[in-house]
């Protein structure tokens, strides 16, 4: 399962050339305006949930760019509003309906002014609810599941003429990766100094609490040659770090696709191939399943300098009884042995995890086993949630649900332990000098912010020119949410992205 990100991130596509997207050209060939007919329209995408949704929002902006859609940060001005939804949290669908209620009022205001506002619901709620959205919110123009984003331009082109909601939640037999645009529509969230790149979608693991196998379909890996081509485009556009995404990313097994290579690459092989790209400084991947951590991938953490020493490896519970009920396919001991192997390969590796507290049937003894595992691992950060039933999943059918107050009390006990660990981890960085990839301006004027190899945000006083480069910074202060530091030595001098050693051959201040 992917890491969660702050809900409500906005994304919008920039206008792109008409030849930009082979997908849109194909899908909307009969509807797309010609050069002369291009009309600038405004797109507002609100993204909920995980990095995969952030990436998908950028994909939707890409495929809509050839129809003339560019981004806006003002929802009132939007000709098309897309809610890219997440189904992972409790009452997710209800939250979407209440958001739609607010949008309906905006749509009316725009229509009174003689303007159109198309409303689209995308993402996992769209996939799970489908026609239900059309029935409950008939003013919605488009309901589109994650497997059908390539058909969005055609749906949008038809929507202004249609009087009923168009719903497409099909899971096509053809590869979902066939439809990605070859050119990118411009800088967007998830695209920048650190860029997301989806290499795998869907999941065959069927954890009993999870909707992903139903909403995203069977596991599918993108051919390595295509991944490499997109990575090269991202680097050419300014990316210095690429985060490889997949619902179960370490199950990756893509066709190699080279001129002479008819075989398959696993994730370790793909990382090796991408690491050869000049100008790419850092690689990360998320989210992994413990069962798919191969020896080769563990070794890569010790051997590949561009692979950052941070791993999100969800365990969910420390109780073997609960892990079996979740259909996780591993025990607590197996997970701990993996952690041991990872630390043997890369002693500095920082670990993160997901936890579900109050899974049906979880006893106090089970919960204590989770606390024991957490104490043994010592995490750098983690995401923890109370179990919430997802309709249609096996766990939702169980009749031994843990009372809410019990689950809430356990969650706060767990979070206290995890918060302490995070505080300790960050405090342990003080006085260390780390290579930081600067990604954006900081909160205050004259500040820039970047990530350490261990995924912590670090702020320094520095010039905008640092953005897009790796520079050394000495950590001065730490809080649970990040680090403050000062540039060390020659600001902006290129350094080894992982261990901070200066690249003496190129000390000319070239962006890394």
Q: Enumerate binding residues for ligand SF4 (CB under 6 A).
A: 1, 203, 205-207, 210, 212-213, 247-248, 289
Peptide bond into 247 cis (omega under 30): no
Query: Across 169-301, where does the E strand assignment appear?
Result: 194-198, 200-201, 220-221, 241-245, 253-255, 264-266, 282-286
Residue with smaller CB distance to ligand SF4, 51 or 247: 247
Minimum Å gap between C-beta 284 and ligand SF4 is 18
The nearest distance, CB 319 to ligand SF4, in angstroms, is: 17
143 forms bridges with which residues in the sheet?
121, 167
Q: How far is the CB of 212 from ligand SF4 (least distance, A)?
A: 4
Considering the complex, state which of residue 50 and residue 154 has its C-beta at the smaller distance from ligand SF4. Answer: 50
Q: How far is CA 416 from CA 3, 317, 496, in A?
A: 20, 16, 35
Q: Which is nearer to ligand SF4, 4 or 233 (CB)?
A: 4
Alpha carbon 360 to its chain's center = 28
Nearer to ligand SF4, 41 or 289 (CB): 289
In the complex, least distance from residue 124 CB atom to ligand SF4, rounded to whole angstroms = 11
Provide DSSP, 263-302: SEEEHHHHHHHHHTSTT--EEEEE---GGG--HHHHHHHH
DSSP state of 16: -
Round to whole Å and give the CA distance between 413 and 399: 25
Question: What token pair was written down for 286?
Answer: 């998320």
Which residue's CB is nearer to ligand SF4, number 292 or number 304? 292
* Cβ-based nearer residue to ligand SF4, 207 or 495: 207
Judged by beta carbon, residue 286 or residue 469, the one nearer ligand SF4 is 286
Task: Write down the least CB distance from residue 327 to ligand SF4, Å.
Answer: 8
CB of 196 to ligand SF4, least distance (A): 17
- Toward ligand SF4, which CB reaches closer, 273 or 289? 289
Separation CA 328–CA 245 (nearest Å): 20
Cα R_g (the chain), whole angstroms: 23
Closer residue to ligand SF4 in complex, CB, 107/390: 390
Report, in Å, the least distance between residue 492 CB and ligand SF4. Answer: 40
Long-range Cβ contact pairs of 402-406 (< 8 A, separation 24 or more) = 402/358, 402/359, 402/360, 402/361, 402/362, 404/358, 406/358
Nearer Cβ to ligand SF4 (187/329): 329
List the beta bridge partners of residue 386: 357
Q: How far is the CB of 4 from ligand SF4 (least distance, A)?
A: 13
Q: At its nearest, how many Å lie between ligand SF4 and the CB of residue 223? A: 21
DSSP, residue by residue, 169-197: ----SS-GGGG--SS--S-BTTBSSEEEE
Do the beta carbons of residue 474 and residue 433 sit within 8 Å?
Answer: yes
Contact 123, 53 (CB under 8 A): yes
Q: Rounded to the nearest whole angstrom, what is the least distance from the CB of residue 292 to ligand SF4 in the complex? A: 9
Query: From the CB of residue 384, how many other CB atoms can be counted at a distance below 10 Å?
Result: 20
Burial of 481 (0-12, 13-18, 19+ CB in 10 A): exposed
């Amino acid at each position: 399962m992917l890491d969660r990100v702050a809900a409500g991130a906005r994304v919008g596509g920039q206008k792109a050339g008409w030849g930009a997207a082979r997908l849109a050209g194909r899908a909307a060939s009969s509807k797309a305006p010609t050069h002369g007919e291009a009309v600038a329209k405004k797109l507002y995408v609100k993204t909920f949930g995980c990095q995969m949704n952030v990436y998908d929002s950028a994909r939707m902006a890409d495929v809509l760019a050839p129809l003339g859609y560019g981004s806006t940060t003002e929802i009132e001005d939007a000709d098309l509003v897309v809610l890219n939804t997440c189904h992972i949290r409790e009452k997710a669908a209800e939250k979407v309906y209440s958001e739609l209620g607010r949008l309906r009022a905006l749509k009316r205001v725009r229509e009174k002014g003689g303007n159109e506002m198309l409303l689209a619901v995308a993402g996992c709620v769209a996939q799970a609810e489908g026609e239900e959205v059309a029935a409950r919110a008939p003013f919605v123009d488009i309901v589109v599941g994650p497997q059908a984003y390539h058909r969005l331009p055609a749906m949008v082109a038809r929507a202004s003429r249609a009087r009923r909601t168009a719903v497409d939640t099909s899971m096509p037999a053809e590869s979902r990766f066939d439809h990605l645009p070859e050119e990118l529509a411009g800088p967007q969230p998830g695209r920048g100094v650190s860029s997301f790149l989806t290499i795998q979608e869907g999941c065959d693991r069927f954890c009993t609490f999870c909707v992903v196998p139903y909403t995203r379909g069977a596991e599918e890996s993108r051919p390595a040659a295509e991944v490499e081509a997109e990575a090269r485009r991202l680097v050419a556009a300014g990316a210095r770090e690429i985060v490889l995404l997949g619902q179960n990313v370490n199950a990756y097994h893509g066709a190699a696709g080279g001129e002479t290579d008819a075989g398959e690459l696993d994730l370790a092989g793909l990382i090796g191939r991408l690491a050869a790209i000049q100008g790419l400084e850092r690689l990360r991947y998320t989210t992994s399943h413990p069962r798919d951590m191969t020896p080769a991938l563990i070794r890569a953490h010790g051997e590949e300098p561009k692979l950052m020493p941070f791993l999100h490896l969800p365990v969910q519970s420390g109780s073997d009884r609960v892990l079996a009920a979740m259909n996780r396919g591993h025990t607590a001991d197996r997970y701990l042995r993996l952690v041991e192997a990872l630390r043997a390969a890369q002693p500095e590796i920082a670990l993160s995890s997901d936890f579900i507290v109050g899974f049906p049937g979880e006893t106090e003894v089970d919960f204590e086993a989770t606390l024991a595992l957490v104490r043994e691992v010592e995490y750098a950060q983690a995401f923890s949630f109370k179990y919430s039933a997802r309709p249609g999943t096996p766990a939702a059918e169980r009749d031994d649900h843990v009372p809410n107050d019990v689950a809430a009390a356990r969650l706060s006990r767990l979070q206290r332990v995890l918060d302490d660990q995070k505080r300790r981890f960050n405090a342990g960085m003080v006085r260390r000098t780390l290579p930081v990839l600067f990604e954006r301006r900081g909160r205050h004027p004259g500040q820039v912010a970047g990530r350490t190899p261990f995924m912590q945000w670090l702020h320094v006083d520095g010039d905008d020119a640092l953005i897009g480069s790796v520079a050394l910074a000495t950590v001065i202060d730490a809080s649970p949410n990040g680090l403050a530091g000062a540039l060390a030595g020659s600001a902006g001098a290129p350094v080894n992205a992982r261990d901070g050693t200066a690249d003496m051959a190129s000390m000319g201040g070239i962006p890394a």
